[in-house]
Amino acid sequence: MAPSFDNKNSLFNFAVRDGNGVKGIVDSGISTVPPAYIQPPAEQIDKKNASICDMPPIDLSKLGGPDHDEVVNQIVGAAETLGFFQVINHGVPVELLESLKQTAHNFFGLPAERKAVYRKEVSPSPLVNYGTSFLPEKERALEWKDYISMTYTNDIEALQQWPVECRDDALQYLKTSHELVRKLITALLGNLEVELDDSNIDTFIEKKTVNMNFYPTCPNPELTVGVGRHSDIGTLTVLLQDGIGGLYVKVPEEVDTEKRGEWVEIPPIPGALVINIGDTLQILSNGRYKSAEHRVRTTSTKSRVSIPLFAGPEPTQKIAPLPQAVKKDGAARYREFVMLDYIKSFFENPHDGKKTLEFVKLNSA
């Protein structure tokens, strides 16, 4: 029998400790959202107040052709303003994208006990982590989301340790998007006049993690969030979303458009992938490229899945604004730091917009 979800402890035990997740709560047949999931009014998402981002997807098949420079300009322009854009002809097979979405549904459709074995506290592998919300122990209100996270070290460990239900698709996604990530980094860092060779590009995208996010239907979407306001901390994120919609990005205040400070929705485009700039690339570019704040709304009609691939530096890597970017600006806006410290600071605090960057911002910035 499902416990009382009005009681915070019993809800926590059911959803978090026993691994039932939000999916388990919804499957128990609730008709209203449990109090622990009700966001403070300032965090609730008013669908009516957001417009849809009308930036057309960027056609990456044109890189290397006669329109190469124009495509690079589109990539750079999007990274300097919204920090989000969509790409088509990206080299990741469209059939794989379809399969990934189905795989995510299949995984979260498994009985709770099959997923709960991967909870952080008990997971047989440090590379695999199943959970719900972002930081359930610390959050004021929980996020309406379950996830599985798979970190890549090498093929053998991925095949042995990632959940058998997800590993083949997730690994293929990681491999087939590698060239895409390299092309984008080449365009973005090349534009800063950074001299690139294989090894220095790889330094910034070496560490890869594939997540599968599951947002079950929600009886009161206006009161909850799927993911709260945050920016991603790595270099680049490649995100596959399904057709449901609900991903919102905040137009940075410092961008010269009438939409500054507003939330815009990144609409689902069949076959496209969403790309977003992470904090690391904002820092490397000395603030030129924007790691935009984003969040996810829930819906009452259908469960949504999304599959981000996070690419960033190894935890041991030292990061600082690149000299070429600092030279142009005259001063560094961020201090040097070790990536692991940045990762720790992100995972120790509930989502709070772009606060993570404060950790390394210099006073003059």
Ligand X SMILES: O=C(O)CCC(=O)C(=O)O
Told to check if 213 binds ligand X by CB under 6 A, we report yes
Of these, 232, 242, 279, 293, which contacts ligand X (CB under 6 A)? 232
Taking the complex as a whole, the smallest distance from the CB of residue 276 to Fe ion amounts, in Å, to 7
| Contacting Fe ion within 225-244 (CB under 5 A) | 232
Told to check if 39 binds ligand X by CB under 6 A, we report no
Taking the complex as a whole, the smallest distance from the CB of residue 28 to Fe ion amounts, in Å, to 28
Two structure tokens written together for 359: 């950790």
* Residue 213's binding partner out of Fe ion, ligand X, none, with CB under 5 to 8 Å set by partner kind: ligand X
* Residue 15's binding partner out of ligand X, Fe ion, none, with CB under 5 to 8 Å set by partner kind: none
| Contacting ligand X within 299-338 (CB under 6 A) | 306, 308
CA distances in angstroms from 107 to 75, 158, 212, 305, listed in the order given: 34, 17, 9, 11
Of these, 158, 174, 227, 339, which contacts ligand X (CB under 6 A)? 227
Q: How far apart are CA 201 and CA 189, in angstroms?
A: 9
> If 0-12 CB within 10 Å is exposed, 13-18 middle and 19+ buried, where does residue 143 land?
buried
Taking the complex as a whole, the smallest distance from the CB of residue 250 to Fe ion amounts, in Å, to 12
**Amino acid at position 281, single letter:** L
Q: Binding-site residue total for ligand X (CB under 6 A)?
A: 11
Residue recorded with tokens 């058998």: 164
Taking the complex as a whole, the smallest distance from the CB of residue 345 to Fe ion amounts, in Å, to 16
| CB-based contacts of 344, cutoff 8 Å, min separation 6 | none
Q: How far apart are CA 125 and CA 311, in angstroms?
A: 20
| Contacting ligand X within 277-306 (CB under 6 A) | 294, 296, 306
Taking the complex as a whole, the smallest distance from the CB of residue 230 to Fe ion amounts, in Å, to 6
Contact pattern from residue 78 through residue 97 relative to ligand X, giving x for each residue in contact according to CB under 6 A and a dash for the rest: --------------------
Report CA dihedral (79, 82, 83, 88) to the nearest 10 degrees. -80
Q: How far apart are CA 361 and CA 18, in angstroms?
A: 39
Name the residue whose CB lies closest to ligand X.
Answer: 306
Among 53-61, 62-70, 113-121, 239-247, which window interacts with ligand X (CB under 6 A)?
239-247
Angle, CA of 21, 23 and 26, to the nearest 5°: 120
Told to check if 279 binds Fe ion by CB under 5 A, we report no
Told to check if 165 binds Fe ion by CB under 5 A, we report no
Give the closest residue to 311 by CA, choosing from 192, 211, 172: 211
Two structure tokens written together for 239: 């995100």
Asked if 271 contacts 288 with a C-beta cutoff of 8 angstroms, the reply is no
| Contacting ligand X within 116-155 (CB under 6 A) | none
Quote the DSSP letter at residue 42. G
Binding site for Fe ion (CB under 5 A): 232
Binding site for ligand X (CB under 6 A): 211, 213, 227, 232, 239, 241, 247, 294, 296, 306, 308
